[in-house]
Amino acid sequence: MTAAKTEKKIYEQKTGRLEEEVLMADNKRICTSKFTPLMERMKKEKPDIADCLAKIREKIGEETFDKRFNVLQNINRAGSRLLIVSGSERLRTLLIRDHLKDITDAFGVDNVRIVGGAGFGGVDAF
């Protein structure tokens, strides 16, 4: 393999998260859109969750929040239960290991379930 091909291969592997082209069966009920950070979506869709996320951001700092919370796919709360869709098992593990107490305190819940492995907009999780 020549050096030019090796460099191109490495570059392609280091491109950003979820920038790959995904081939799926044509289904009119499924659409894709550009990823919007979680905080922006929650401010519009679920203001009460956005308030809780702001508490977490204040506690852990902007940089960590952007890497670990703003990339989440979704959060839903029902009473004292919270469901977080993380998008990867690695992120799920980091959230459980480092931020479980922060999450339970900020959201005022006692039951947190974090689901990982839902890459490509969750299409491969179902």
The values of phi and psi at residue 84, to 5°, are: -120, 130
Instruction: Give the predicted TM-score (pTM) of the model.
Output: 0.70
Q: Is the pLDDT of residue 6 over 60?
A: no
pLDDT at residue 20 greater than cutoff 50: yes
Between 85 and 24, residue with greater pLDDT: 85
C-alpha 112/C-alpha 105 separation (Å) is 11
What is the Cα–Cα distance from 56 to 40, expressed in whole angstroms? 15
Span of 20-24, 59-63, 71-75 with lowest mean pLDDT = 20-24
Whether the predicted pLDDT of 92 surpasses 70: yes
d(CA 115, CA 125): 10
> Cα–chain-centroid distance for residue 72?
2
On whether the CB atoms of residues 18 and 120 are closer than 8 A, the answer is yes
Looking at domain 37-125, its CATH class is alpha beta
Give the per-residue pLDDT at 19.
57
The residue with greater pLDDT, 26 or 74, is: 74
